Structure 1
C-alpha cells in the first residue's frame, strides 16, 4: 500500500514545480493561477486574480469533451500554475492533468508559502 506522501512524492517527480518567487516572476498577462483548494479555504483568502477549480472537478472542467468544461482552461499560450494550501493536492492535480496531456505546473508550498513571503492576498468582503 502507498501512502499519500508517497503519491505526492511521485507526482512531484513528474510535474513542473515552481517556487512562489518563480510564480511571482511570471508574466501576469500570460499566467493563470488555479486554486484547487475547497471553497471554505478560498473564502478565507486567495491569490488575487486566481481562478478557482476545486480538486474534485478539475479534470472535468479541463476536458474540452466534458459537459462541465470551462473555457478558461482552454487558453493557448498561457502558463497554468496550480496551487493548494501547501503543495500536496496541487502536485497530485498537476500530475492528473499531465496524464491527460496538459502542460501545467504547480507551486510548491502553496498558499501558505505565498502568504509567508508577504505576497498579496485577497480576502473576500464580509470576512
Structure 2
C-alpha cells in the first residue's frame, strides 16, 4: 500500500481547521454555521444525533456539495461555515479536506467527532425512526 488511512488523515489534519468540542459548542447556535453529520444512518439510529445537524452520509457528500451533480443539495450553496463530524474524527478530517479541495471555503471538523461531543455532555437526541 502506497499510503494508508493514517497518512491520509495526517495530511488532511495539516491542512484543515479542527475545533475542539468546546470551540464547536460556541458556534452551535450560530445561524451562519451548519453542523454536518457524515455518519452512516445506522450509526445515527444507534448512537443518536446532534439536534439541527444536517445528515449527509459520507458516501454522498461530494455529490451533494457539487452544484453540477444531479444530487446537489442547496444547503451547501449557502454562505455558511460547515462543521463536519463523524463518530471519532477520522472520516470527518478526510471529508473536510475533500470539501476544502472542492471549493467550500469555510469548513472545519470536530476533534473526536460525535463520541467526544457526547462525552462532553453537548446536546444530543435520539434519531426518530421512520
Matches within 5 A, 1:1-127: 1-26=2-27, 27-44=29-46, 45-76=48-79, 78-103=80-105, 104-125=107-128
**1:23, distance to aligned residue in structure 2 (A):** 0.7
Aligned counterparts of 1:36 and 1:62: Cα–Cα separation in 2: 13
Q: TM-score, normalised by structure 1?
A: 0.94
Q: TM-score, normalised by structure 2?
A: 0.91
Gap runs ≥5 in structure 2 = none
**1:48, distance to aligned residue in structure 2 (A):** 0.7
Determine helix, strand or coil for the equivalent of 1:106: strand
Q: Deviations over 1:14-52 (max 9, x none)?
A: 111111111110143121000011010011201111001
**1:55, distance to aligned residue in structure 2 (A):** 0.5
Determine helix, strand or coil for the equivalent of 2:36: strand
Which aligned runs of 4 or more in structure 1 are off by greater than 3 angstroms? none
**1:125, distance to aligned residue in structure 2 (A):** 4.0
**1:124, distance to aligned residue in structure 2 (A):** 2.4
Q: Deviations over 1:75-112 (max 9, x none)?
A: 11x21100000100000001111111112111110000
Determine helix, strand or coil for the equivalent of 1:28: coil
Determine helix, strand or coil for the equivalent of 1:29: coil
TM-aligned CA distance change 1:58 to 1:125, over 3 Å: closer
